[in-house]
Structure 1
Amino acid sequence: MDLPVMPPVLPMLAKSVAKIPPGMQYEAKWDGFRAIVHRDGDEIQLGSRTGKPLTRYFPELVSALKENLPDRCVVDGEIVIVHGGRLDFDRLTERIHPAKSRVDLLASTTPASFVAFDLLALGDRSLLDAPLTDRRSALCSALSTTRPPVHLAPATTDPALAQQWFEQFEGAGLDGVVAKPLDLPYRPDARLMFKIKHERTADVVVAGFRFHKSGPIVGSLLLGLHDDRGALQHVGVCAAFPMKRRAELVGELAPLRMEDVSNHPWAAWAEESAHESARLPGAQSRWTGKKDLSWVPLRPERVCEVAYDHMEGDRFRHTAQFRRWRPDRTPESCTYAQLDEVVGYDLAAVLGAGPAAV
């Protein structure tokens, strides 16, 4: 492979802001695997957000990218899986599997798509120093005839349309809106773009915690909600605390620690078969590898309010943010019924929203 921008390349990133800023290019925020595609003739490399190779996990995309991308290019985009008219992140994570036979089966039964939203190189020319407007124009020209499963991400410079996308596209499983300054060059691993994500709050049961990797202080709180059967399901964690606060939490939670976990709602977490019928903490994943996922069980008596962006099935898609303790709420009142129901929106309508407005 011999390209003007060689792998690995770490993608340019975005920092969170509360509102959609004016005077920029706006795109949907895709909820998938960020990927930089390098193509040099028959050679295709898919690089992850951390620079690690993804190519072997998505063999169906290799052939699709050869059919749809210019012979020599570097493209920034997102690998997604569509199921039931919306993005499905859980099915996407299943693709990271060590067995080729399993990968090949999933490539056939749950094929992935690639959504392109930036162009880093074309032919012998690097576009890293070109402004976004030039890169977007070149991307639209290069992908003018692209066909599924490769898509050109819709973009607009109209903030009113961006706000409409922000409100509607969540129903298709998207994550918010990204705003990009029009004169912005491409700077790998720099947070120079802006992301606007949905934020909601929920009252949840604190049923355990994990120690921080640095020592005997709280690393994260384990959160639960009661389902319609009354069972407490593990829905995620909140973890962003100052170091001083992490130490204080150990003492605050000490009276709730359980020596005998047999009566804890998640007592079966160590049994692999139990994770098939209930959402429990501590399940090993292909992402965490050998990371210590052991946790300290607490009597599920304390309630806190957390902020979250959206749900993935019956859990928080991302780490929740601690807001406050809720001594006025009972654990039994913390149910899924309090969560907002997002109005459905067909992903096909998102991808048909128009290729460019720059």
Structure 2
Amino acid sequence: MPAAGVPADRVGPAETPAPADRAEPVEEPEPVPNLPVRPPVPPMLAKPVKAMPKQNGTLFYEPKWDGFRCIVFRDGDEVYLGSRKERPFTRYFPELIEAVKAELPERCVVDGEIVLPMGSQLDFDALQQRIHPAASRVKMLSERTPAQFVAFDLLALGDESLMEAPFSERRARLEGIFPEKGESIRLTPVTTSDEQAAEWFETFEGAGLDGIIVKPGDQPYIPDKRTMFKVKHERTADVVICGYREHKSGPVVGSLLLGLYGDDGRLHHVGVAASFPMARRAELVEEIRPYLAELSEHPWGHWAEQAAANVGQPAAGPSRGGQRVPGAVSRWNAKKDLSFIPLRPELVIEVAYDQMEGDRFRHTAQWRRWRPDRTPESCTYEQLERPVSYNLDDILAR
């Protein structure tokens, strides 16, 4: 039950404070390599498109990797791993530092993705676990679940910047620094065939990949601009609204917490829907107000107790006995409020999603419509489309 002074319809991190080892790490300044392209560099981005762009004579197609975007800067023994948010990943992946020194040229800047293979597939949940403030845990995880770096662009080599060179030239130069298959530094496959890309789109998802990236071969590298294209899967599912979190701006809907029923008959937290215009956020509050519930009567009524036990896991972690409930602490921001307002699980909506990560939506789902014709109990995992399994090694061997 809520602690004294906390409204009965809301619980949150105030009841389950984050321990000291969950605090934001204090980042020490890292050496900046003396290269023709120096960090921080925001990576070039891709704009989403609904359909695969047809080949026009200049396009390159690559698998879209599901990991952490990273630009590697190497100047001899100095290695810097830059993130998409321009904050270094260097301290979290010590095994990649050694791999870069062993497998990449003495002086280079390489754009790519940090991924974590588990068996024949990528495991994004395990990759998220690698972001931890405790040095001892970072070391332990680097040995137990080592990451790999998949390279897909070359920004500098030696004393030469390649930022102004067209991608076709950068790709050729990148292939030139990969004479043999690396152990931890891998080269992404590429094709100029839109038919081959369409086949990859359908099959590679089974190895945990995220779609297809399409790159114009005649374009330079433009940091922080969406000059590439990305094609991702879109599927729909009917889900139960189980609660909501307030928006940072005030008492309107920030995100809806979504649930599906499992074979065990319990309601599991499967993700959130969050992209609404501000006016719609206010409307939603009024539409769902009649369904406000006491936490003690909610299927996730043990949330506060389990949230305390789940500290150190991703924000949406498995709960007691295998039931998924919302998490209490964000892995990326220990100060972020993840408390929620429970609702009676009676409302059903249709959402769009791209892929599953285990038993949850990998990314934020998109609202499509109300489904008053569906009962909550009919919203089960059985409706979800599962891709056919595909071996990750077969992709990287291309």
Report the TM-score, using the length of structure 2 for normalisation.
Answer: 0.87
CA contact (8 A) 1:9 1:47 kept: yes
Deviations 1:195-214 (A, max 9, x none): 00011100000010111111
Counterpart contact for 1:282–1:295, Cα < 8 Å: no
Structure 1 segment 39-188 matched on structure 2, within 5 A: 39-188=74-223
Please state if 1:14 is matched with 2:38. no
Q: Distance in 2 between matches of 1:326 and 1:84?
A: 39
Shift of 1:283: 2.4
Give the residue type in structure 2 aligned to 1:9: V
Percent of residue pairs bearing the same amino acid type = 62
2:326 to 281, 290, 293: 281
Which of 311, 331, 340 pairs up with 2:356? 311
Q: Is the 8 A contact 1:76 1:117 kept in 2?
A: yes
Q: Do the aligned residues in 1 keep the contact of 2:75 with 2:108 (CA within 8 Å)?
A: yes
Task: Give, in angstroms, the shift of residue 21 of structure 1.
Answer: 0.5
Give, in angstroms, the shift of residue 251 of structure 1. Answer: 0.5
* Whole-angstrom distance in 1 between the partners of 2:309 and 2:378: 28
Distance in 1, Cα, partners of 2:332 & 2:381: 27
SS at match of 1:31: coil
The 8 Å contact of residues 64 and 213 in structure 2, kept in 1 or not, is answered as: yes
- CA distance in 1 between counterparts of 2:194 and 2:319 reads 44
Q: Does 1:243 align with 2:288?
A: no
CA contact (8 A) 2:262 2:381 kept: yes
- Where does 1:18-37 land on structure 2 (aligned, <5 Å)? 18-23=50-55, 24-37=59-72
1:276, distance to aligned residue in structure 2 (A) = 3.8
The code of the aligned residue for 2:125 comes to D
Q: Which residue of 2 aligns with 1:208?
A: 243
Larger deviation: 289-298 or 307-316?
289-298
Aligned to 1:255: 290
Aligned residue for 1:291?
Answer: 336
Residue 282 of structure 1, CA deviation: 3.6
Q: CA-to-partner distance for each residue in 1:126-179, whole Å, 9 max, x for gaps?
A: 111110001001100012234111101100110000000000000000000000
Larger mean CA deviation between 275-284 and 342-351 belongs to: 275-284
SS of residue in 2 equivalent to 1:270: helix
Give the conservation status (yes or no) of the 8 Å contact 1:132–1:184.
yes
In 1, Cα distance between equivalents of 2:51 and 2:208: 20
Query: Quick one: distance in 1 between partners of 2:176 and 2:113?
Result: 19
Deviations for 1:82-114, whole angstroms, at most 9, x for unmatched residues? 012000001001111111111111111111111
**Cα displacement (A) at 1:270:** 1.4
> Is residue 2:314 matched to residue 1:269?
no
Matched position secondary structure for 2:88: coil
Contact 2:240 2:379 in 1 (8 A): yes
The 8 Å contact of residues 68 and 145 in structure 1, kept in 2 or not, is answered as no
Residues 278-317 of structure 1: CA distance to partner in whole angstroms, max 9, x if unpaired?
3211421321321111111100000000000000000000
Deviation beyond 3 Å, 4+ runs, structure 1: none
Q: Shift in Å at residue 273 of structure 1?
A: 2.5
- Structure 1 unmatched runs, 5+: 354-358
How far apart are the structure 2 equivalents of 1:11 and 1:267? 42
**Structure 1 letter corresponding to 2:50:** A
Of 312, 321, 329, the residue aligned with 2:374 is: 329
2:47 corresponds to 1:2: no
- Name the count of aligned residue pairs: 352
Partner letter of residue 273 of structure 1? A
Single out whichever of 26-35 and 14-23 deviates more from structure 2: 14-23
Q: Partners of 1:47 and 1:146 in 2: how far apart?
A: 24
Q: Which residue of 2 aligns with 1:356?
A: none
Aligned mates of 1:299, 1:288 — CA distance in 2: 29
Contact 1:13/1:190 (<8 A) preserved: yes
Contact 1:212 1:218 in 2 (8 A): yes
Which secondary structure state, in structure 1, belongs to the residue aligned with residue 297 of structure 2?
A: coil
Larger displacement relative to structure 2 (324-333 or 282-291): 282-291
The answer on whether the counterparts of 1:270 and 1:282 sit within 8 Å (CA) in structure 2 is: no
Moved more, 275-284 or 247-256: 275-284
Equivalent residue letter for 2:341: V
Write out per-residue CA displacement over residues 31-59 of structure 1, whole angstroms, 9 at most, x where no aligned residue.
00110000000100001110111111111
Q: CA deviation at 1:242?
A: 1.1
